[in-house]
Amino acid sequence: MADADEIGEVALGLNAMGRQLNETIQTITEERNEREAVLAGMTEGVLAVDSDERVITINAAAADLLGVAPEQAHGRSIQEVVRNPDLQAFVTTVLAGDGPAEGELIVHADQNPRELRVHGALLSDGSGDGEREGRGAVVVLNDVTRMRHYEAIRRDFVANVSHEIKTPVTTIKGFAETLLDGALDDRHDAERFLRIIVGQADRLSAIIGDLLSLSSLESDAEDAAVSLERGSIRDVLQVALDVCEMKAGPRQVMLTLDCAEDLYAEINPPLLEQAVVNLIDNAVKYSPEGATVEVSAAVEATGLSIRVKDAGRGIPREHLTRLFERFYRVDKARSRDMGGTGLGLSIVKHIAVAHGGWVAVESTPGRGSTFTITLPA
């Protein structure tokens, strides 16, 4: 009987141990699943290695940034997994150090190089004895390529704004000082200087006006505040042609319109008119005297396309990708002489985007250019 009691107690103990073991395994499994879910959901790349620089963890974001397959990385050395000397050296530095480390590096996982901000720290084995035995390192990777691109655009924008505004301000100041120094006594020179001052003030006003337009467009686009209504495309294009007729007439440039009467779309008429006016104005400026600027609109497979085609000098291929950047000019001296602010095409792009569309350009040097605004059909 005593033996039976002892066996029963052992059985109870084993059952209790079994339950505890199951609970422990379940807890470990849940923690592992939670950790993997967190790592999988992170936009930052996470890479962990052991003290021998073998990969023990790599999440999807890190695998994408480094161009590796996660399932093939586990257990392999960092030198085998990632063919990037800078990252390999960074991991070695973290493992050899006593504290966090950070730096920047460039990876070429695909055709486009990516700039990464990397942060590294040591992993403890959890014993709390302070020994280095069994330690590893974790590296967090942040893709800062787009941020660096935007920083470069911002720097260029600030430099360009400063340059564009400085020129008319310097001119106005110089001629005003000349007038104060005695040029007012010569009526002919005084009138000439004042006309120059007025012209530069107009240019400064145009730059500021275009900058305010861009700021308003960006703000409205972010807040989805651009109101659209069903409107006639032909009516908008006809108004744009009428506005540009005054500039086209003296240069004997003919403006033509090809658009069906029943072509309608969800548009903001004043904004779309401004975009088309900017395109026609550019086409007139850069077309030879006696040329024709063709404006057309039609529904195509990609959407509703509005085209402005000229027979001007055309644009070299290397400039096409940057043509819609603020203050970007193909011919800086000529465009300034013609009164351009360098913001017209950027405004066109933002207006197209505000309508849910886009703008594109096709050009052949010596044969002219075609600008196309595509709107949702």
Domain CATH code at residue 177? 1.10.287.130
Q: How many domains does the chain have?
A: 3
Q: Is residue 252 part of a domain?
A: yes
> Which residue spans within the chain are E strands per DSSP?
45-49, 55-58, 101-107, 114-123, 136-143, 229-232, 254-258, 264-267, 292-300, 303-309, 358-364, 368-375
Q: Greater confidence, 373 or 337?
A: 373
Name residues whose C-beta falls within 8 Å of residue 359's C-beta, 6 or more positions apart in sequence: 275, 324, 345, 348, 349, 352, 371, 372, 373, 374
Q: Is residue 32 part of a domain?
A: no
- This prediction's pTM: 0.59
One domain, residues 215 and 337: no
One domain, residues 260 and 191: no
Q: pLDDT of 282-323, one tens digit each? A: 899 888 888 999 999 999 988 999 999 998 888 888 888 888
One domain, residues 135 and 170: no
Task: Name the pLDDT band for 132 (thresholds 50, 70, 90).
Answer: very low
One domain, residues 301 and 350: yes
Range of the domain at 129: 38-143
Share of the chain above pLDDT 70, in %: 83
91, 137 Cβ separation under 8 angstroms: yes
Q: Is residue 29 part of a domain?
A: no
Q: Is residue 270 part of a domain?
A: yes
- Token look-up 């199951």 returns 22
358, 350 Cβ separation under 8 angstroms: no
One domain, residues 216 and 293: no
One domain, residues 217 and 333: no
* End-of-domain residue from the set 100, 117, 143: 143
Q: Is residue 24 part of a domain?
A: no
> Which residue spans within 147-258 are E strands per DSSP?
229-232, 254-258
Domain CATH code at residue 76? 3.30.450.20
One domain, residues 43 and 176: no
One domain, residues 162 and 296: no
- Token look-up 């084995």 returns 125
* End-of-domain residue from the set 90, 124, 143: 143
One domain, residues 131 and 172: no
Q: Is residue 124 part of a domain?
A: yes
Q: pLDDT of 70-83, one tens digit each? A: 777 788 888 888 88
One domain, residues 356 and 277: yes
* End-of-domain residue from the set 143, 160, 191: 143
Q: Is residue 5 part of a domain?
A: no
> Is the predicted pLDDT of residue 130 greater than 50, yes or no?
no
- Segment 198-227 shows an average pLDDT of 75
**Of the segments 24-38, 102-116, 208-222, which one has the largest average pLDDT value?**
102-116
Domain CATH code at residue 347? 3.30.565.10
Out of 75-79, 114-118, 153-157, least confident range: 153-157
Q: Is residue 75 part of a domain?
A: yes
One domain, residues 168 and 258: no
User: What is the predicted pLDDT for the residue at 293?
Assistant: 93
Q: For residues 348 and 356, what is the distance between their CA atoms, to the nearest angstrom?
A: 13
One domain, residues 247 and 377: yes
> Is the predicted pLDDT of residue 133 greater than 50, yes or no?
no
